[in-house]
């Protein structure tokens, strides 16, 4: 039915089967859209936020998708600026994942501001003393970069590419992609960093506050570093999931091993910095503000030392080691364990830096604020996942996302 749109030589499932899958995921998407409209039309009273706890669940989702979407800027930087040509086999998919993550982040922010019709105020009535203004500027511009990086892949659709103007446009955009990739890396450095910087400058929150360099707290650099380190792991994880669902090999082992190796070294070096930062905070910063480490991890029903151990050791140090060692990196099972742990690790880090910060009591009369999100928050947090699955499914079906697909599956077929 839609075979004229499918990349030449590629095999895809039957159109009715595809549509059934889309309908199932689409139902979840509609549930999220319904919750989103409830928040827009009835207001933020649909959430469980209050004056004491002002971060909804979706703020964690926002920071998490921005972090795991960091694979796009970092892979683009390696491919176009550092000229690591091997990554051409995965760059299209990294861009699509980044596009999904950043469009989701902007959607979440549109829900969070409660009155999206006034979203443009941040550009027109900008508070030039806020790191979040910088985040909004860079996030919007970087989404434009990702859209520009995604366009050539769309224009390479079998039918669109027959239109001469689109064919030339895709060709020309490929020619200057290094400029867009460099701009994207510049923007990502600042917005990833400023999201961490926001936590680090909150001197009224001893759990978050950090020393730093000039106006930038250490969390600024740690957030950028972690996005570059863990983002490629999410790219590898989604690639693995897509391969499992389609039953095809889509990216060659050489590319996978290379990206995993780079991610492994980035994670390991990041973890060294993160451990030093945590030790200094626990032994110097927090005590100087009148708090001991145990204050942040005891006397409540949820946040214990387990979260610190899980984030730093289990989901940080362990995947780093698994990915830098050749034997475990090239073993599909241990590599999969490593990239799953790494993805959980960066999401856990953002959880701690957003939600635990708000939960920890600061004043002597405060109590732990263990937040239970409303179903509307849960639905709007799941919404981007459903949207991402649908966009990946459509892109995989109609666009030449994986340049090695035909070659890898032809050789597999011949081996049978």
Give the residues lining the site for other proteins (CB under 8 A).
123-126, 128-129, 133-134, 137-138, 141, 144-145, 148, 152, 156, 161-162, 164-176, 179-180, 183, 186-187, 190, 403
In terms of CB distance, is 122 or 341 closer to other proteins? 122
In terms of CB distance, is 42 or 168 closer to other proteins? 168
In terms of CB distance, is 41 or 165 closer to other proteins? 165
Say what angle helices 218-246 and 375-398 make with each other, to 10 degrees. Answer: 60
Residue 193 near residue 213 (C-beta atoms within 8 A): no
Q: How far apart are CA 249 and CA 240, in angstroms?
A: 9
In terms of CB distance, is 187 or 338 closer to other proteins? 187
From the list 369, 299, 300, 357, the residue with the least C-alpha distance to 52 is 369
Type and span of the H or E element at 92: helix 91-112
**Taking the complex as a whole, how short is the minimal distance between the CB of residue 377 and other proteins, in angstroms?**
31
For the chain, give the longest Cα–Cα distance: 71
**Taking the complex as a whole, how short is the minimal distance between the CB of residue 80 and other proteins, in angstroms?**
13
Residue 361 near residue 331 (C-beta atoms within 8 A): no
**Taking the complex as a whole, how short is the minimal distance between the CB of residue 126 and other proteins, in angstroms?**
6
Residue 131 near residue 197 (C-beta atoms within 8 A): yes
From the list 3, 106, 99, 55, the residue with the least C-alpha distance to 351 is 55
**Taking the complex as a whole, how short is the minimal distance between the CB of residue 155 and other proteins, in angstroms?**
10
**Taking the complex as a whole, how short is the minimal distance between the CB of residue 88 and other proteins, in angstroms?**
10
**Taking the complex as a whole, how short is the minimal distance between the CB of residue 236 and other proteins, in angstroms?**
24
**Taking the complex as a whole, how short is the minimal distance between the CB of residue 13 and other proteins, in angstroms?**
25
In terms of CB distance, is 170 or 260 closer to other proteins? 170
Pure H helices in 204-311: 218-246, 253-280, 286-288, 305-309
From the list 354, 346, 266, 350, the residue with the least C-alpha distance to 314 is 346
Find all residues with CB under 8 Å of 238, minimum gap 6, and list them.
93, 97, 392
In terms of CB distance, is 157 or 374 closer to other proteins? 157
In terms of CB distance, is 13 or 173 closer to other proteins? 173
**Taking the complex as a whole, how short is the minimal distance between the CB of residue 176 and other proteins, in angstroms?**
6
In terms of CB distance, is 83 or 125 closer to other proteins? 125
- How far is the CA of 259 from the CAs of 78, 128, 239, 311, in angstroms? 10, 37, 12, 22
């Amino acid at each position: 039915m839609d075979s004229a749109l499918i990349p030449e030589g590629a095999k895809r499932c039957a159109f009715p089967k595809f549509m059934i899958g889309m309908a199932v995921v689409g139902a979840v998407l509609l549930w999220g859209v319904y919750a989103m409209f409830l928040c827009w039309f009835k207001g933020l009273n649909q959430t469980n936020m209050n004056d004491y706890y002002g971060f909804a669940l979706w703020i964690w989702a926002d920071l998490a998708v921005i972090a795991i979407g960091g694979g796009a800027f970092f892979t683009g930087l390696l491919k176009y600026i550092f000229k690591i040509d091997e990554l051409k086999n995965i760059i299209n998919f990294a861009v699509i994942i980044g596009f999904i993550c950043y469009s989701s982040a902007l959607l979440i922010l549109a829900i969070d501001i409660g009155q999206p019709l006034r979203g443009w105020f941040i550009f027109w009535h900008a508070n030039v003393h806020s790191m979040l203004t910088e985040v909004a500027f860079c996030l919007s511009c970087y989404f434009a970069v990702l859209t520009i990086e995604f366009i050539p892949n769309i224009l390479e659709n079998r039918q669109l590419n027959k239109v001469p103007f689109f064919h030339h446009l895709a060709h020309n955009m490929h020619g200057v992609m290094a400029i867009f990739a460099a701009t994207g890396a510049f923007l990502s450095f600042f917005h990833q960093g400023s999201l961490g910087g926001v936590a680090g400058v909150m001197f009224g929150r001893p759990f978050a506050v950090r020393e730093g360099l000039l106006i930038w707290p250490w969390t600024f650099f740690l957030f950028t570093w972690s996005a570059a380190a863990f983002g490629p792991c999410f790219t590898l994880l989604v690639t693995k999931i897509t391969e499992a669902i389609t039953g095809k090999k889509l990216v060659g082992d050489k590319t996978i091993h290379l990206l995993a190796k780079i991610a492994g070294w980035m994670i390991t070096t990041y973890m060294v910095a993160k451990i030093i930062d945590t030790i200094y905070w626990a032994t110097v910063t927090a005590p100087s503000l009148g708090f001991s480490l145990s204050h942040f991890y005891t006397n409540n029903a949820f946040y214990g030392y387990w979260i610190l151990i899980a984030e730093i050791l289990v989901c940080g140090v362990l995947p780093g080691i698994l990915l830098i060692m050749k034997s475990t990196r090239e073993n599909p099972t241990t590599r999969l364990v490593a990239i799953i742990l790494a993805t959980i690790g960066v999401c856990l880090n953002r959880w701690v830096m957003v939600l635990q910060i708000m939960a920890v009591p600061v004043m002597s009369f405060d109590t732990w604020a263990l937040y239970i999100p409303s179903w509307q928050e849960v639905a709007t947090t799941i919404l981007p996942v459903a949207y991402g699955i649908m966009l990946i499914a459509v892109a995989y079906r109609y666009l030449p996302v994986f340049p090695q697909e035909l070659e890898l599956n032809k050789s597999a077929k011949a081996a049978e």
